Amino acid sequence: MRLLRETAAIAAKDLRIEARGRYAIAAVLPFAATMLVVFGLALGPGRELLRQTAPGLLWLAVLFASVLSFRQAYETEAEDGALEGLVLAPVDRAAIFLGKGLAVAAGLLVLEAVTILLVAVLFDLALAGRPLVVGAAFVLGTVGLAAVGSLFGAISQSPRARESVVPLLILPLAVPVLLAGIRATAEAGAGGEVASWLGLLVAFDAIFVVLGMLVFGHLLED
Amino acid sequence: MRTLGKLTARPGERILGWAALAALAASAVLSLAVAPPDAEQGNVQRLMYVHVPAAWLAYLAFAVVFVASIAYLRTKRTRWDRLAAASAEVGVLFTALTIVLGSLWGKPVWGTWWTWDPRLTTTAVLLLIYVGYLAIRRLPESPARRARWAAVVGIVGFVDVPIVHLSVVWWRSLHQEPTVLRLGGPTLAPVMLTALLVGVAAFTVAYAYLVTLRLRAGRMEERATREALAPEPAERGRVAEEARG
Amino acid sequence: MDNLGFVAAGYTLTGVSLLGYVAWLHARIRRARERAAERESWE
């Protein structure tokens, strides 16, 4: 299908740019790590509190990292006017939305793997219980964050918006992902019920990916 | 030649304004004097008659934003964008009011200003989303772009709210804390229900008036900006002469 | 009862915020009209 091909092409292009520029590794990952250390300092040194808040802090770091990543994903193109080129090309707008979302999601998944390890060490997070559940929560959550981020990242074309409005928008809209992700991660460690939270993530993802595909084009028009 | 009608309020707007005032006054009388105090909460429960209508009208306002946003993206007619802008501003006002009133209600009943009650928490998230909507409208971009971006937020935000509400309700239920704002027991006494409905009606009229007034303000400001950018008459003549060569 | 203070505060706040918003909108209209009239008076 043409949409899939275009999506893959755009995702591949973004991933190639990332591989060369290594922005995610050079800036976003250290940022997430710094956040976690600072969280630990702010809330610690009591081990019990840190262990309890670990899932929340983990997901907060992921959320902020995703905002940063999408800002960068659109900013470099907007600066060079490459985004206009992309818009003028006979590419389905939805493919841009999906492709960029996919590229950033891939980067986020790598970041999450590292961050989970970091949190497990720093905050004594119990994960050994159900790794598949935790994995599912993060994959589904990443898709949801990518949908919201890729959609509103397009507003990063406006320099003023980039600084404050985009994070202001993404955070409240991503609340369901945040809550469901944190709860699923915490319950997985504690042996609780996770099905409803994972279900919520699936529903959020479905709704926002479809919605994003429908409205994204309007954000690119001049 | 400007028609006078655009400069002054149309008669309908004035009538709406006085009707809103009368309705709100009537509602206040019913809520404060006629309705009995609650069996459990006493007089503090009277805050329900302002808090609940404010909440419902906030949701209505954003539903209007949702529909207007879709209509604008479909038809590209500015009237829908203007309606969305007006309804969003009024909606944010009602949302902020809802939260403060909820807080005022919660403090004497539960001893704290904020209890992460599911409905209040969702309302807080709602406020943040539409404050973001208003921020988009102030970006230094072309009016058409601002309108389009705002419309997307108006649509996506509204779709997100039920999901947010569901997630917050589930999140909250983990701790079995009862919700602050039980509407006066399992069922409302008829007098109380009447007072509540009158309150909702009064707030609805107020909403209609505020949106109408806000629409007029928007039109006036648009016109003033247009005039400021138009060339002066003397220059218009000169430019035309130069163009003629 | 002490709690009446909360009720009074709530209702007062409601009235003040609604009236205040109306007043602000009227001010915006007046200012816009003045700006437009200023232009007109040059013609």
pTM above 0.80, yes or no: yes
Distance CA C15, CA B187 (A): 28
In this predicted structure, the answer to whether residue B215 has a pLDDT above a threshold of 80 is yes
User: b/e for A51-70, b at 16 or more Cβ within 10 A?
Assistant: eebbbbbbbbbbbbbbbbbb
Q: Cβ C7–B46 below 8 Å, yes or no?
A: yes
- Tokens encoding B219: 């039109």
For B164, the closest of A176, A183, A208 (CB atoms) is: A176
pLDDT at B242: 58
Q: Cβ C10–B206 below 8 Å, yes or no?
A: no
Q: How confident is the model at residue B181 (pLDDT cuts 50, 70, 90)?
A: low
Cβ contact B119:B181 at 8 Å: yes
Q: Cβ B46–C21 below 8 Å, yes or no?
A: no
Cβ contact A142:A112 at 8 Å: yes
Distance CA C4, CA C14 (A): 15
Distance CA B22, CA B24 (A): 5
Which residues of B are less than 8 Å from A222 in CB distance? 142, 144-145
Identify the closest residue of chain B to C36 by CA–CA distance. Answer: B224
Q: Cβ B170–A155 below 8 Å, yes or no?
A: no
Q: CB-based burial of residue A87 (10 Å sphere; 0-12 exposed, 13-18 middle, 19+ buried)?
A: middle
In this predicted structure, the answer to whether residue B95 has a pLDDT above a threshold of 90 is yes
Identify the closest residue of chain C to B99 by CA–CA distance. Answer: C10
pLDDT at A123: 84
Q: What is the pLDDT of residues C2-43, one digit of tens each?
A: 688 899 999 999 999 999 999 999 999 999 988 877 766 665
CA quadruple B72, B135, B16, B51: dihedral positive or negative? positive
SS3 at position B221: helix
Interface of A with B (CB under 8 A): 151, 155, 158, 160-161, 164-165, 168-169, 171-173, 175-176, 179-180, 183, 196-197, 200, 203-204, 207-208, 211, 215, 218-219, 221-222
In this predicted structure, the answer to whether residue B235 has a pLDDT above a threshold of 70 is no
pLDDT at C8: 93
Mean pLDDT of A32-57: 88
pLDDT at A75: 78
Which residues of A are less than 8 Å from B160 in CB distance? 173, 176, 208
In this predicted structure, the answer to whether residue B75 has a pLDDT above a threshold of 80 is yes
Which residues of B are less than 8 Å from C43 in CB distance? 233
The DSSP 8-state label assigned to residue A26 in this structure reads I
In this predicted structure, the answer to whether residue B232 has a pLDDT above a threshold of 70 is no
Q: Cβ C11–B28 below 8 Å, yes or no?
A: yes
Say if the ipTM goes beyond 0.90.
Answer: no
Mean pLDDT of B19-46: 89
Cβ contact A83:A157 at 8 Å: yes
Q: Cβ C28–B223 below 8 Å, yes or no?
A: no
Q: What is the pLDDT of residues A19-30, one digit of tens each?
A: 777 776 778 889
Q: What is the pLDDT of residues A160-187, one digit of tens each?
A: 777 788 888 999 999 999 999 999 998 8
> Contacts for B213-217 with beta carbons within 8 Å, 24 or more apart?
B213/B9, B213/B13, B213/B17, B213/C22, B213/C25, B213/C26, B214/B85, B214/B86, B214/B89, B214/B90, B214/C25, B215/B82, B215/B83, B215/B86, B216/B9, B216/B13, B216/C25, B216/C29, B217/C25, B217/C28, B217/C29, B217/C32
If you average pLDDT over every residue of chain B, what do you get? 86
Mean pLDDT of B219-233: 79
Shortest distance between the Cα of C25 and any Cα of chain B, in A, equals: 6
Poorest-confidence range of A55-59, B97-101, B181-185?
Answer: B181-185
- Tokens encoding C20: 């205040």
Q: Cβ A158–B140 below 8 Å, yes or no?
A: yes
Distance CA A174, CA B128 (A): 12
Poorest-confidence range of A53-67, A122-136, B192-206?
Answer: A122-136
Q: What is the pLDDT of residues A108-153, one digit of tens each?
A: 999 999 999 888 888 877 766 688 888 999 999 999 999 999 999 8
In this predicted structure, the answer to whether residue B241 has a pLDDT above a threshold of 80 is no
pLDDT at B1: 35
Find chains touching chain B: ≥3 CB pairs under 8 Å: A, C
Q: CB-based burial of residue B229 (10 Å sphere; 0-12 exposed, 13-18 middle, 19+ buried)?
A: exposed
Cβ contact B168:B122 at 8 Å: yes
In this predicted structure, the answer to whether residue B239 has a pLDDT above a threshold of 60 is no
Q: What is the pLDDT of residues B129-177, one digit of tens each?
A: 999 999 999 988 888 999 999 999 999 999 999 999 999 988 887 766 5
% of chain B with per-residue pLDDT over 70: 85
pLDDT at A128: 63
pLDDT at B240: 57
Q: How confident is the model at residue B2 (pLDDT cuts 50, 70, 90)?
A: very low
Q: Which residue has the higher pLDDT, C42 or B98?
A: B98
In this predicted structure, the answer to whether residue B182 has a pLDDT above a threshold of 60 is no
pLDDT at B7: 47
pLDDT at B6: 47
pLDDT at B83: 97
For A161, the closest of B131, B139, B155 (CB atoms) is: B139
If you average pLDDT over every residue of chain A, what do you get? 86
For C21, the closest of B28, B31, B93 (CB atoms) is: B93
* Chains A & B: contacts with CB separation below 8 Å: 83
In this predicted structure, the answer to whether residue A15 has a pLDDT above a threshold of 90 is no
Which residues of B are less than 8 Å from A218 in CB distance? 73, 148-149, 151-152
- Tokens encoding B2: 């400007």
Mean pLDDT of B51-71: 96
Q: Which of B44, B110, B225 to mutate to test the interface with C (most CBs of C within 10 A)?
A: B44
pLDDT at A5: 85
% of chain A with per-residue pLDDT over 90: 36
Distance CA B163, CA A203 (A): 9
Asked whether at least 3 C-beta pairs link B and A within 8 Å, the reply is: yes
In this predicted structure, the answer to whether residue B188 has a pLDDT above a threshold of 80 is no
Distance CA A78, CA B126 (A): 30
Shortest distance between the Cα of B174 and any Cα of chain C, in A, equals: 30
Q: Which residue has the higher pLDDT, B239 or A160?
A: A160
Identify the closest residue of chain A to B130 by CA–CA distance. Answer: A169
Q: Cβ C32–B224 below 8 Å, yes or no?
A: yes
Report which of A208, A186, C9, A189 is spatially closest to residue B158, judged by C-alpha positions.
A208
Q: Which residue has the higher pLDDT, B46 or A222?
A: B46
Q: Which residue has the higher pLDDT, B121 or B188?
A: B121
Q: How confident is the model at residue A87 (pLDDT cuts 50, 70, 90)?
A: confident
Residue found by looking up tokens 């992700």 in the block: A181
Q: What is the pLDDT of residues A91-113, one digit of tens each?
A: 888 988 999 899 889 989 999 99
